[in-house]
Amino acid sequence: MSRKYPAFLNLENKNILLIGGGKVALEKLPHLIDCGAKITIITLEACKEVTSILEKHSEIKIEYRSVDFSDLQGRALVFSATNDSELNRRLCEYAHSWKIWINCADDPSNCDFYSAAVLDRGPLRIAISTEGNFAGLSGVVKSALDELIPNDHEEDFQELIEFRKELKSILPDADRRKRVLKNLLQTLKEEYFSASTNQK
């Protein structure tokens, strides 16, 4: 079986449909908000945590009703956060007929792409995925990375990004610039990550 291609999607201002308003939808919603997506939720009811998020984000459209297959038309992506495998199968068929990608939570056979456990450290974003097969394992790996890369180093990573940008004007020679960056990253690996691991 072929492996899935890892990628980060630009969903800013993209029309996204989220079906369901329970705990599974709650896992998807914050990341979609962070992406700047145009979100529509269709659900019979919403859990209190989702309702709380909606109170703070009036830009999110929510409709309390059953989903209709025509609701998928015009969407950039569709997320089905239901536990109805038959509904997922039919949603997947309709999505594919309109060439729309769909993710059905905890239902890998009806997914064109998979969500991931995500670690954010300023400009550094790490996604961990088991391709929909074992979300708990992704969570464990994320927890280990949480300990390895603490929150208080976000500014350091941002400074590294800014330094790399500035280096292009300081060192226009690509080969010299590459050597400097390589040495810098090697120092980071030896002094920071090795030290963090040895403290365990």
Q: Which residues pair with 103 in a beta bridge?
A: 79
pLDDT above 80 (res 194): no
| Cβ contact 109:86 at 8 Å | no
Model confidence, pTM: 0.80
Region 99-124 average pLDDT:
91
List the CATH code of the domain at 15-115: 3.40.50.720
β-strand 77-80 against 38-43: which pairing, if any?
unpaired
- Of 52, 53, 43, 48, the closest CA to residue 19 belongs to 43
- Of 62, 60, 77, the closest CA to residue 112 belongs to 77
Tell me the two tokens of residue 166.
């500035």
Region 149-173 average pLDDT:
84
pLDDT above 90 (res 37): yes
Model confidence band, residue 163 (pLDDT cutoffs 50, 70, 90):
confident
pLDDT above 70 (res 96): yes
Average pLDDT, the chain: 90
- pLDDT for position 35: 94
CA 64 to chain centre: 26
Strand blocks (E) in the chain: 15-19, 38-43, 61-64, 77-80, 101-104, 117-121, 124-128
pLDDT above 90 (res 46): yes
Determine which of 55-59, 80-84, 124-128, 154-158 has the lowest per-residue pLDDT on average.
154-158
For the chain, the structural domain boundaries read 15-115, 153-194
pLDDT above 60 (res 199): no
- pLDDT for position 170: 87
- pLDDT for position 195: 55
